[in-house]
């Protein structure tokens, strides 16, 4: 699969979640940052998209501890969300 096709597929998966909050968190990050991620980070983002939305939400809000493999990625998601939160209001 070409990299462009993969990026488009990941972006679509990020904006079509089961919870609106995850659409926003993952979708905005995907639109802005996916093209800049290293292949290993894309693999990790793809794995995160396979996780349950309620788990991702709990990790992002601090309700549950973030699994070690996702700690850096969740931190990036939250930093991006904080930087662009004015665009969501």
| Digit-coded pLDDT (tens) for 31-63 | 999 999 999 999 999 999 999 999 999 999 999
Are 23 and 15 spatial neighbours (Cβ–Cβ below 8 Å)?
Answer: yes
Which residue shows structure tokens 């919870």?
19
pLDDT at residue number 89: 42
Q: What would the mean pLDDT of 7-16 be, rounded to a whole number?
A: 97
In angstroms, what CA-CA distances link 25 with 20, 47, 50, 65? 9, 16, 15, 18
Confidence at 85, pLDDT banded by 50, 70, 90: confident
Provide the domain limits for residue 16: 3-88
CATH code at position 25: 1.10.150.250
- At 35, list the tokens: 């093209």
pLDDT at residue number 88: 52
Domains identified in the chain, total number = 1
Which are the contacts of 24, defined by CB distance < 8 A and separation ≥ 6? Answer: 81, 88
Using DSSP, how many helices (H) and how many strands (E) does the chain show? 5, 0
pLDDT at residue number 87: 54
């Amino acid at each position: 699969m070409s990299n462009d096709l993969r990026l488009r597929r990941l972006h679509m998966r990020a904006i079509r979640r089961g919870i609106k909050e995850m659409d926003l968190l993952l979708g905005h990050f995907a639109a802005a940052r996916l093209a800049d991620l290293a292949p290993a980070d894309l693999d990790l983002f793809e794995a995160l998209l396979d996780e349950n939305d309620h788990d991702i939400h709990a990790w992002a809000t601090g309700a549950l501890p973030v699994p070690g493999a996702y700690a850096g990625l969740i931190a990036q998601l939250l930093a991006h969300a904080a930087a662009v939160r004015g665009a969501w209001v």
